[in-house]
Structure 1
Amino acid sequence: MQPRTWLTGGAVLAVVAVTAVIVLTGSSEVAAGNEPPATATVVKTDLVQTVQVSGTLSYGVPQPLTAAANPGTITWIAPEGATVKVGQPVYKVDNVPVILWNGSTPLYRPLQTGTKGADVLLAEQNLSALGYLKAKPNSTYDAATASAVKTWQQATGQPATGVVDPQHVVLAQLGPPANLAGHGDLRIALHTLEAGDRVGSNANNAILTYNGTTPLVVVGLDVAKQHLVKKGLKATVTLPTGKAVAGTVATVSTVATVPQQGSDDPPNVPVVITLADPAAAGGLDTAPVDVALVSAQKQDVLAVPIAALVALAEGGYGVQVVAGDKTSYVAVQTGMFANGKVEIPGDGIAAGTVVGVAG
């Protein structure tokens, strides 16, 4: 009989810490009556290593949206939680809609025939995307632009002047991580003013806060684990309802956040995860979630329960192969460990091989 050490208990958690045992040299065959306490079958499977972390499901960091300084009374605001698409009104002042456009170039002046500049290009790009301008957008406000503007104004309930008034347009600039929502659409987070409130002073008035339209998961990842995560990595997000949703790492910040003084938490980096099925979030906002990040994986490998490993006196590890009423030890090379299994490539090992397992 060949003495051996089964890897059980704490040894399963730290295989490298297993000490060598005395194994007699010579034949590796073991006499009948010394069968292992239990057996398992070698399987061909996929192994996946994961990192378990906590995250927050939200629509991104709310940002303020301000009204222009022209005096007036708010007569309507899109409801909290509503999605406003590009081309739709966000709020109304004196019952004139203020329309959402996509872009970041500030509209700082009236746009009319003869005006040139980047703000004209932004206006024409939006008019083109909304179907009002048929010509190719450029930086010159011409007769075709003015005609498209009049049609747009009539369709949206504005005075049909043919001049773009900056007071009738808002640009939602979605910063990280809300910019992942895309297309310039926004979600109304919270009203800071209400219908009936007056606006217009020497400074802009904050009317509401907004964020992106797609729920995201943000994880504050310990910087010690940063090397395990990269853009495109797969993840599984478990919602407070218990439902698991597939996700993908969208961004990994390179700037660490240092916890407040006196906190025992380690420095962390923000990791943003998008959901394969955003609708699965069911409207949850600022909700705690559990995240399993796939740090490594292998496909179609031979694997057995970790408890099937034995430490050999000559070094390395093996498994006790069971064939009928005979058993023998076969040396193996350990590969990936995941989900209670270990990859064991080696001569004499194939799918379906029966091996001993510690009881």
Structure 2
Amino acid sequence: MRRTAVLLGGVAVIGSGAVVGFINLPGRTAAPATSPNGAQPSSVPIIRSDMVDTKQVSGTLGYAGRRIQPNRASGVVTATRAEGTVVRRGGWLYKVEGKPVFLMYGAVPMYRRLGIGATGPDVQQLELNLVKLGYKPGTVDKTFTAVTAQAVWAWQRDKGLVATGRAEVNQVIFSRGALRIAENTKQAGDAAEGSVVTTTRTERAITIKLETSNQRFARKGARVRVQLPDGKKVAGTISSVGTVARPGKDADSPATIDVSVKVGGELGRLDQAPVTVELRTGRREDVLSVPVEALIAREGGQYGVRVVRGGTRQVVPVETGLFTGSRVEISGAGLSEGVRVEVPQL
């Protein structure tokens, strides 16, 4: 990214209008320039370092994997868990007609009744859960046997369910891991039709509605910095970048894609909190840089810096590279780390 300069009465104004110096022909020794307040300019050394440019975008701190859970139980909701509660294997998510709906771990959804003679990966994951919960369904495999039925019967009896030895679709919700109650969409006394709870996973995550024009700055695995509502900054990593653009709310709103960021550190219990995410937009390694104010506009739209050596000052032409807010990458003949350049005292 390059910035242009305009000349106002011999003064160079760059970008935001900051005065950066007086123009001199390249190579000509010049008397010290003065700042608008009459003070003599100072000098700073050229620095060699890596430079990173960033772009700030808005995000929302919450929890990963937000999902409206399907409900297969019919009747009246009689109990829900407090929002924010973490439910693990064997725990209940809500109750309908006094009967709990339990969480078990697995990748296959509970889509059918499981009884003697049933076969498949859903049978295997049910048996594995029964073992983890302290029951004995026999060999953990893909076949539901009489031994499996005895273990299911014992589990149902212990949990206050009607003990039949068959696992019903209204008794279990499978998830890949623990779930956090994000929102109770129904309350005690409501009909249980539709969903009763919305859940998330337990790990923290940030969601960004990123304008499609900035999509090139979001790359899976890229590191970012996140500023929390209290001003604290934490490190994060982009975990996913959406591929489907969603239209804006109206004709004037840009289309966006969903970007997820994993974050660590102490984040408290904030949910759906606004945060600022710094995306890396450019990086230059092992380059020379000076404060933006050190740039001097030259004829032909070029730039220079006034090099200070002993009691002399000389304008040296430079090529500019990456701008990172307060600093700019430069290169030019005779420039090296530690060489001092003049900056005005604004």
Q: Does the TM-score normalized on the shorter chain lie above 0.5? A: yes
Alignment match, 2:198: 209
Question: Does residue 114 of the first structure (1) align with residue 100 of the second (2)?
Answer: no
The Cα offsets for residues 299-358 of structure 1, whole Å up to 9 and x where unpaired, read as 443211122223444875432221111223334332221131112244433322211124
Alignment match, 1:140: 143
Alignment match, 1:308: 294
SS in 1 for 2:71: strand
Question: Does residue 251 of the first structure (1) align with residue 254 of the second (2)?
Answer: no
CA distance in structure 2 between the aligned counterparts of 1:169 and 1:98, rounded to whole angstroms: 6
CA distance in structure 2 between the aligned counterparts of 1:156 and 1:305, rounded to whole angstroms: 69
Question: Does residue 296 of the first structure (1) align with residue 289 of the second (2)?
Answer: no
| Residues 219, 8 of structure 1: alpha-carbon distance in 2 compared, 3 angstrom cutoff | farther
Alignment match, 1:329: 315
Alignment match, 1:223: 212
SS in 2 for 1:105: coil
Alignment match, 1:165: 168
| Residues 220, 206 of structure 1: alpha-carbon distance in 2 compared, 3 angstrom cutoff | closer
Alignment match, 1:178: none
CA distance in structure 2 between the aligned counterparts of 1:193 and 1:222, rounded to whole angstroms: 34
- Give the structure with the higher percent strand: 2
Residue type at the aligned position of 1:141: F
C-alpha RMSD over aligned residues = 3.7
Contact 1:111-1:120 within 8 A present in 2 as well? yes
Residue type at the aligned position of 1:184: G
Contact 1:80-1:188 within 8 A present in 2 as well? yes
Alignment match, 2:57: 53
The Cα offsets for residues 138-194 of structure 1, whole Å up to 9 and x where unpaired, read as 32224664565466556655566654333321235xxxxxxxxxx432221333444
CA distance in structure 2 between the aligned counterparts of 1:103 and 1:57, rounded to whole angstroms: 27
Q: Which moved more, 1:146-155 or 1:88-97?
A: 146-155
**Among residues 60, 63, 66, which one is paired with 2:68 in the alignment?**
63
Which blocks of at least 5 consecutive residues in structure 2 are unaligned? 1-6, 35-39
Contact 1:49-1:295 within 8 A present in 2 as well? yes
Q: What is the TM-score normalised by the length of structure 2?
A: 0.78
CA distance in structure 2 between the aligned counterparts of 1:8 and 1:187, rounded to whole angstroms: 60
Alignment match, 1:85: 88
CA distance in structure 2 between the aligned counterparts of 1:159 and 1:330, rounded to whole angstroms: 88
Q: What is the TM-score normalised by the length of structure 1?
A: 0.75
CA distance in structure 2 between the aligned counterparts of 1:304 and 1:22, rounded to whole angstroms: 19
Contact 2:137-2:149 within 8 A present in 1 as well? no
**Among residues 309, 318, 329, which one is paired with 1:343 in the alignment?**
329
Q: What is the aligned residue count?
A: 329
Alignment match, 2:253: 265
- Give the structure with the higher percent helix: 1
Alignment match, 2:29: 30
SS in 1 for 2:195: strand
Q: State, as a whole percentage, how many aligned pairs show the same letter.
A: 37
- Which residues in structure 2 correspond to 1:149-160 (within 5 Å)? 149=152, 152-153=155-156, 156=159
Contact 2:226-2:236 within 8 A present in 1 as well? yes
Contact 2:66-2:198 within 8 A present in 1 as well? no
Contact 1:222-1:266 within 8 A present in 2 as well? yes
| Residues 316, 118 of structure 1: alpha-carbon distance in 2 compared, 3 angstrom cutoff | same
Contact 1:78-1:84 within 8 A present in 2 as well? no
**Among residues 227, 232, 236, which one is paired with 1:238 in the alignment?**
227
CA distance in structure 1 between the aligned counterparts of 2:338 and 2:24, rounded to whole angstroms: 29
